[in-house]
Structure 1
Amino acid sequence: MTERDFEAEEKGGGSKGKTVYVVEHRWFEQWKEFVETGDQNSPSFPGQINNTELFEDLDSYHLKERLVENEDFVLVPAEAWHKLQAWYGMVDGQPPLERKVVDLPSTLKVEIYPVEVFLCLHSNIENVITAEFSRADSILSIQKAMCQAFSVPSSSECRLWIKSLDSSCERLRNVHMSVLDACLSSGMTVIMETRNADGTWPSSRPQIMNSAEEQDSYRGQPGVCGLTNLGNTCFMNSALQCLSNTPPLTEYFLQSSYLEELNFTNPLGMKGEIAEAYADVIKQMWSGRHYSVVPRVFKTKVGHFASQFLGYQQHDSQELLSFLLDGLHEDLNRVKNKEYIELRDADGRPDQEVAEEAWRNHRRRNDSVIVDTFHGLFKSTLVCPECHKVSVTFDPFCYLSVPLPVSKERVMEVFFVSLDPYAKPVQMVVADVFNHRFYKIYNADESLSCILDRDDIFQQEEEQVLLALYLRERSHYRDYGSGSSSYGTTLFGHPLLLNVPRSSCNEEALYKLFLQRLATAFFVCVAQPYVAIDWDPEMKKRFYNENEAEKYVKHTSMEVPQQQTTVQLQECIELFTTVETLEEENPWYCPVCKKHQLATKKLDLWSLPEVLIIHLKRFSYTKFTREKLDSIVEFPLRDLDFSACLLRKNLSNGEPLSRYDLIAVSNHYGGLRDGHYTSYAKNKDNGQWYYFDDSKVTYAREDQIVVSISLSCTCTAIFVRTFIATMHSLTLITSSSICVVWRN
């Protein structure tokens, strides 16, 4: 099979029920390189299909969490998979990773992670079994599976309960609902009870946990209410807590003002469903009758209208917040019929005139509580590099997504292998080692941006001809399909780079060299600069010490702690307003030159909203790498003055000042693929700060918030001419941030 054959099969597209297979990304890339050469003796020969890098451990073969398609793995059509497995085989013991395309609301999706839940009977909660279900399965299918597993007659009258990760319990009343719509996620427990012969139930509810129904008698401070984690939904809970503590928006929903403005006919909206679901969550949180709310219906609605939030993968809280604000705006847009408005360029007119015109045009099509509260105005200036045409426009924004300064330097851990431990290294070769072979040997002028933090890097002094030496163990394996047995070879250990004089590239000289390295066989040094040495299993046990091969000496430079940089929030905004050149993928059409140009672009802040959301982009992405920036961002809790950042200096009488106070913060602890979101927020009624960690709520002191902000501001912050921020913990790496601010 060639790469072209594979692509032809892949273009068949996905259909409900279609089978695909998960293959480790680097093995697949190595296979592509191998088939491109067409040389059976190529060093890029991939060997047996090896998905080791995808598994948490090699006992249970559970997949690692948050694997990324086309970075960690690729999806291979079934027919292509069977051919690959027949030709290359699989590493002994590894199961094929078969997955199905399932029909989810608004999308077809390959279900990489089925929902793994615990099942038990109310009468015997100690007897727990584990089962996997598709998100497209119905709750009834779970009930049938439980009846079969626990030998419960199918004619028995049953009812099911969900025990969430925080031990709260909720009854599954609609058995025809899908696993997705029921917000059932991995790690949850489904408890089944059967009706007694006398018609009663064993209990009004399972007594092993607190049910949401037990909160009826609870009375507490309105707004001081946790949100149940439905399974990796801490990102959603954090964003909801920030918005819940934004006074203008919350008052709007608590007073039911939204009911008069629901727009059911807006084609860009969600038929009012997002607004109604959000209103229900806010009213519960501010009723004072719940210490925790289960946002199950809200989560389901979000997944229906935004397929990226289907299932229970971790997401960025800013991404959810952006979707929610846009959805609320369209659901509550007072403009029923949007008129077409032809946008005009400034053409030398005064900025004030052009800005007022742009804002009027914006309000003619977009008029909602979200626009009233969160929208401000940018000034965008484009300059053609050829004719110097200047184009000025004013555009609305809902939040500021500002960058953090990124250092061009990068610290990488390198393993250095010296031929002579006493010689001073002069010239080096950098090689990327993967799966016991050299995945790539870098040229001196080649960028290292594609090296990931998890990669092992080796350096070795270069002399004359560089020869790669691979270690292979003869192994027995069974061919796919035929059932016949045969012997093959499996790579092990670290490959070696040998410096060989050109005069020694002959059979006799290489033989002597390999004997010195305890080789048992050799191949003639031909055009391809690599050699593989086959070991008998018994000889490998006697002469190859794996622990010794893995040993290394740690250089003192590895013990020097990396210094964190500290920046002011104003510096991030200044960086946001810096002149930049457009990228080739996004050129600007110059009306004078009549062609697309890589113009320079500059954004300036013209006017700020009542509630200002600031997103600190701590996640840095390139073609090859993703990292979380750990710079410390500092800003005060009160009187944060944005006047120096505003282009418009002369405010009209009666216009609000540009000072803000912090009112909420979304925190993220962890790295790119893992971690946990929490939030700080200031209650609008009593002025007290609280710390929200899913269903848990505790008091917070202002000095705690200052420390958290300065150390780890990484997500989203909101200012209401006051102020909200998002951050990440210093104890791990930090990420992006959102701040919401309220104007004084």
Structure 2
Amino acid sequence: MAEGGAADLDTQRGEVAALLKTQLRKGDTWYLVDSHWFKQWKKYVGFDSWDKYQMGDQNVYPGPVDNSGLLRDGDVLAIKEHLIDELDYILVPTEGWNKLVSWYGLTEGQEPIARKVVEQGMFVKHCKVEVYLTELKLCEDSNMDNVITRRFSKADTIDMIEKEMRKLFSIPDEKETRLWNRYMSNTFEPLNKPDSTIQDAGLYQGQVKTCRMKSTSSGFFFFVDSQELMPQTRNSISTNSSYSLPSYHPYSNSYDYSDQSRQSERSGLCGLSNLGNTCFMNSAVQCLSNIPPLTEYFLKDKYTDELNEDNPLGMKGEIARAYAELIKQLWSGKYSYVTPRPFKTQVGRFAPQFSGYQQQDSHELLAFLLDGLHEDLNRIRKKPYIQLKDANGRPDKVVAEEAWENHIKRNDSIIVDIFHGLFKSTLVCPVCSKVSVTFDPFCYLTLPLPMKKERTLEVYLVRLDPLAKPTQYKLTVPKVGYISDLCTSLSTLSGVPAEKMIVTDIYNHRFHRIFATNENLSSIMERDDIYVVEDTDHVVIPVHLREKYKQSGYNHTSTPLFGQPFLIAVPRTLSEDKLYNMLLLREMETDEQDDESSQDQELPSENDNSQSEDSVGGDNELENGVVGPTNSTKGQQTAGHNRKRLFTFQFNNMGKTDFSLIKEDTRQIRFDEGHLRLSGRKSRLHMEYKPQKKAFFKLKDCIELFTTKEKLGAEDPWYCPNCKQHQQATKKLDLWSLPPVLVVHLKRFSYSRYMRDKLDSLVDFPLRDLDMSEFLINPNAGPCRYDLIAVSNHYGGMGGGHYTAYAKNKDDDKWYNYDDSSVSPANEDQIVSKAGYVLFYQRQDTVKGGQSHCGDRH
């Protein structure tokens, strides 16, 4: 058995590995574990076959399960927003969680982060751990200042919410109650189905439930206020005492509106309420709403004749109906904003990834919506089977016509009419030179941005001088580079030779990782604390600081670490006293006042040759390979024989007991509680950093990059029909024909195993006269100029931020800023910004209603 009664490491590794393969089942409970802690545990138990060199090493002992990195500041129950599975946290089933906690415990003051497995999807069901719960605010009608926040699963029912409110507000069982949704100041919806789930009822993040008990005069109800509270746990609200209750049915396809007496609103200038992280949806919808031919199609009810409810690839016509209803409200001219809850509910039913209230991607929502509308409105009732053919040397014009004809035999809708174009794909085998040419339809262009070749990292340099403060540097390093590049960059600024640097990652008071110079820089994530230690010809020993407890039965692996670990360079042969002095010097305060007081400090006395009751890990201690020097080898006491040492230390020599030569093994140092303060070491020096000027590109640069020949990656090879095997072919894309409305997606977000990144470079895109003729390889293509009509903007970083939209109103030809429920005029000089994410261009020859295309598609 391992220390503390835990199972041995092989058993731990095997049991957890098996449990991580558990299938998700509806109703089961899984737990979140901080990925940093889990990685440390994996090191300790040798989980990965390629990473067993520190297995059992007490200096990588993970300690109690610590989820502090997942929690909001000051809140032990709420997790941070935009966490990503496997990058920020690991999901483990109940049995796995119980085993980890029984072996290691849970950090004091923390609660388990337990989440239910829910079933998502309308037709194709799949299970998913519901990491983010729906936060509702609960209060009594008699005391609406007393607001209590509770989090519920989407699988919880209305009845469960009512029971929770009864318990919180001590409502007697004999008192009758009812739930209502309140959306605007005078708009209500009864919730008469207690068995309905939160997801089915369409309740969303931040809604406020108010309880009213039955009275003889006014009846009884709960209600939900979604507009008048900020998302604090407790807040005061103002209410209108004259409630107006509508007579429509619960969960109907009705929209909620702003003040309906406002008849002067201009058509299309209507905002969309944020239902809780739904700005991505609002941005995409507002852009589509301002595409004239599509909006006219729905406003004139042309869609009703083309609904395809039997299409197995469609959504039974529900997405088209919900979108049509929303467009009609936006263009009614009656409202300043509407609440798109029915539309959001329908989207979530068919695309479970959008069913929750996490921030999503406006382009991904747009792609789903265009595809859903296309299939719901597909004029082809029975799609024929078509055998795809390669060009085989035939003229491009012939192959392109054939490809388009085959496409519209299976796909013919208003979406195809407006948004679909055709590009040519050319693949060349590097072995046999086989050339494969195909023509493929597209609905939008995803354009790569010229990649930033560099990234900025913040690191701390720790000098050999033990009294020198760590100095913070901001380094510019290659985006695709190695640890050696980091050392070279730091050497240029600091003067320390690159070959004299040891790069480490510190987490939870211990060395989480020591990097090799040939490791990729991509393994360093943005939140990592990187310390670069000046190396020496001496032996470099990692030192961890651990508190001492006076309780009997002391076990060093269960006591907490503190402070920052450090590396110390020592000669290969030295006495214990010299090592003690070096460690003491390393831990002394570095400011003048503390230096002076340290020199004059009176240390407590101890009897000669006696061991203090307060000392930890006596000289003869031998515990799991952690060995201290014996009395026979003990040298002269530092600061005289009558001085009590401020700390004791142990060498973790992995079972070796020869201390005549200190080898390059991990050493562990423990301090008596309260004797040494580390605040001086927390002081940092900061080097000035002048950021480089942000990159600037034109939209045409991105288009040229899109059409540049590239070599396929090893993970995405092409199957060559001649070689009969997969090859890393060269691939080139060219534009053959373009649609009336060209959607351009700027690929700002990038993902890797270790990091997420957003390219915030400014892309200068024209507001008018975008000439695409030069990019069309179709010799019959005529003039092809576009004007910008809408932009979906993203502000902020990866996994979060905020989405808005700029769009030109088709009636007054003016630009407006759509920011959730707010709509305001915009100047043309505001439109082009670093936030531009998805661009919508309308071809000039189709502005008056024409549907011709640039290039001969047919």
Q: Same fold (TM over 0.5)?
A: yes
Change in 2 beyond 3 A, CA 1:478/1:334: farther
String of CA shifts for 1:96-137, please: whole Å, max 9, x gaps: 222221234433221222222111233321122222221112
String of CA shifts for 1:508-560, please: whole Å, max 9, x gaps: 65344334445612223626722222122232xxx2132x221111112x2x1
Are the equivalent residues in 1 in contact too, given 2:211–2:221 (CA < 8 A)? no
Asked if 1:287 is matched to 2:318, the reply is: no
Q: 2:810 aligns with which of 671, 676, 684?
A: 684
Counterpart residue type for residue 516 of structure 2:
N
Deviation of residue 163 (structure 1)? 5.1
Asked if 1:81 is matched to 2:211, the reply is: no
| Equivalent-residue separation in structure 2 for 1:472 and 1:217 (angstroms) | 69
1:481-520, aligned counterparts within 5 Å? 488-504=558-574, 507=576, 509-517=578-586, 520=647
Q: 2:16 aligns with which of 6, 21, 33?
A: 6
Counterpart residue type for residue 83 of structure 2:
L
Q: 2:261 aligns with which of 217, 231, 234?
A: 217
Are the equivalent residues in 1 in contact too, given 2:524–2:754 (CA < 8 A)? yes
1:35-184, aligned counterparts within 5 Å? 35-36=45-46, 37=52, 39-105=55-121, 106-154=125-173, 156=175, 158-162=177-181, 170-176=188-194, 177-184=196-203
Change in 2 beyond 3 A, CA 1:594/1:88: same
| Equivalent-residue separation in structure 2 for 1:500 and 1:722 (angstroms) | 75
| Equivalent-residue separation in structure 1 for 2:650 and 2:381 (angstroms) | 77
Name 1:15's counterpart in structure 2.
25
Name 2:368's counterpart in structure 1.
323
Name 2:412's counterpart in structure 1.
367
| Equivalent-residue separation in structure 1 for 2:20 and 2:717 (angstroms) | 31
| Equivalent-residue separation in structure 2 for 1:635 and 1:82 (angstroms) | 55
The percent identity for this pair of structures is 50
Secondary structure at the aligned position of 1:237 is classed as helix
1:452-467, aligned counterparts within 5 Å? 452-464=525-537, 465-467=539-541
| Equivalent-residue separation in structure 2 for 1:131 and 1:471 (angstroms) | 40
Asked if 1:425 is matched to 2:499, the reply is: no
Deviation of residue 213 (structure 1)? 5.9
Counterpart residue type for residue 383 of structure 1:
V
Are the equivalent residues in 2 in contact too, given 1:163–1:191 (CA < 8 A)? no
Counterpart residue type for residue 678 of structure 1:
T
Further displaced range: 342-351 or 212-221: 212-221
Name 1:271's counterpart in structure 2.
316
Secondary structure at the aligned position of 1:333 is classed as coil
Asked if 1:296 is matched to 2:334, the reply is: no
RMSD: 2.8
| Equivalent-residue separation in structure 2 for 1:476 and 1:14 (angstroms) | 45
Name 2:624's counterpart in structure 1.
none
Name 2:615's counterpart in structure 1.
none
1:179-194, aligned counterparts within 5 Å? 179-194=198-213
Deviation of residue 627 (structure 1)? 0.9
Are the equivalent residues in 1 in contact too, given 2:708–2:732 (CA < 8 A)? yes
String of CA shifts for 1:388-411, please: whole Å, max 9, x gaps: 000000000000011111122222
Q: 1:719 aligns with which of 815, 818, 841?
A: 841
Counterpart residue type for residue 344 of structure 2:
K
| Equivalent-residue separation in structure 1 for 2:214 and 2:257 (angstroms) | 20
Deviation of residue 633 (structure 1)? 0.5
Counterpart residue type for residue 16 of structure 1:
K
Name 2:650's counterpart in structure 1.
523
Deviation of residue 9 (structure 1)? 1.6
Change in 2 beyond 3 A, CA 1:461/1:325: same
Name 2:302's counterpart in structure 1.
257
Counterpart residue type for residue 717 of structure 1:
L
| Equivalent-residue separation in structure 2 for 1:35 and 1:545 (angstroms) | 30
Further displaced range: 441-450 or 523-532: 523-532
Deviation of residue 599 (structure 1)? 0.6
| Equivalent-residue separation in structure 2 for 1:577 and 1:377 (angstroms) | 13
Further displaced range: 338-347 or 130-139: 130-139
Further displaced range: 564-573 or 81-90: 81-90
Are the equivalent residues in 2 in contact too, given 1:196–1:202 (CA < 8 A)? no
Change in 2 beyond 3 A, CA 1:578/1:487: closer
| Equivalent-residue separation in structure 1 for 2:186 and 2:363 (angstroms) | 27
Secondary structure at the aligned position of 1:283 is classed as helix
Are the equivalent residues in 1 in contact too, given 2:697–2:761 (CA < 8 A)? yes
Asked if 1:33 is matched to 2:43, the reply is: yes
Q: 2:392 aligns with which of 347, 354, 362?
A: 347
Counterpart residue type for residue 159 of structure 2:
L
Asked if 1:644 is matched to 2:744, the reply is: no
Name 1:732's counterpart in structure 2.
none
Name 2:673's counterpart in structure 1.
537
| Equivalent-residue separation in structure 2 for 1:478 and 1:73 (angstroms) | 36
Gaps of 5+ in 2: 1-10, 47-51, 226-237, 245-255, 470-493, 588-645, 655-663, 846-852
Change in 2 beyond 3 A, CA 1:83/1:25: same
Secondary structure at the aligned position of 1:711 is classed as coil
Q: 2:687 aligns with which of 521, 532, 555?
A: 555
| Equivalent-residue separation in structure 1 for 2:224 and 2:132 (angstroms) | 30
Deviation of residue 2 (structure 1)? 3.4
What TM-score do you get using the length of structure 1 for normalisation?
0.89
Are the equivalent residues in 1 in contact too, given 2:506–2:512 (CA < 8 A)? yes
Deviation of residue 153 (structure 1)? 4.7
| Equivalent-residue separation in structure 2 for 1:467 and 1:168 (angstroms) | 70
Change in 2 beyond 3 A, CA 1:594/1:204: closer
| Equivalent-residue separation in structure 2 for 1:468 and 1:485 (angstroms) | 21
Counterpart residue type for residue 197 of structure 2:
S
Name 2:239's counterpart in structure 1.
208
Gaps of 5+ in 1: 724-741
Are the equivalent residues in 2 in contact too, given 1:691–1:699 (CA < 8 A)? yes
| Equivalent-residue separation in structure 1 for 2:391 and 2:178 (angstroms) | 66
| Equivalent-residue separation in structure 2 for 1:51 and 1:188 (angstroms) | 28
- Count of matched residue positions in the alignment of Structure 1 and Structure 2: 705
Change in 2 beyond 3 A, CA 1:564/1:595: same
Secondary structure at the aligned position of 2:62 is classed as coil
Q: 1:435 aligns with which of 485, 508, 511?
A: 508
Name 1:727's counterpart in structure 2.
none
Name 2:354's counterpart in structure 1.
309
Are the equivalent residues in 2 in contact too, given 1:399–1:613 (CA < 8 A)? yes
Are the equivalent residues in 2 in contact too, given 1:274–1:301 (CA < 8 A)? yes
Change in 2 beyond 3 A, CA 1:485/1:439: closer
| Equivalent-residue separation in structure 1 for 2:549 and 2:312 (angstroms) | 62
Change in 2 beyond 3 A, CA 1:486/1:454: closer
Name 1:409's counterpart in structure 2.
454
Counterpart residue type for residue 178 of structure 1:
T
Are the equivalent residues in 2 in contact too, given 1:225–1:292 (CA < 8 A)? yes
Secondary structure at the aligned position of 2:768 is classed as coil
Further displaced range: 113-122 or 367-376: 113-122
| Equivalent-residue separation in structure 1 for 2:310 and 2:403 (angstroms) | 26
Counterpart residue type for residue 806 of structure 2:
Y
| Equivalent-residue separation in structure 2 for 1:147 and 1:500 (angstroms) | 67
Change in 2 beyond 3 A, CA 1:43/1:641: same
Deviation of residue 160 (structure 1)? 3.1
Counterpart residue type for residue 571 of structure 2:
P
Q: 1:470 aligns with which of 536, 544, 552?
A: 544
| Equivalent-residue separation in structure 2 for 1:610 and 1:467 (angstroms) | 67
Change in 2 beyond 3 A, CA 1:152/1:300: same
Secondary structure at the aligned position of 1:524 is classed as strand
Are the equivalent residues in 1 in contact too, given 2:34–2:70 (CA < 8 A)? yes
Q: 2:742 aligns with which of 612, 617, 633?
A: 612
Are the equivalent residues in 1 in contact too, given 2:448–2:702 (CA < 8 A)? yes
Are the equivalent residues in 1 in contact too, given 2:464–2:535 (CA < 8 A)? no
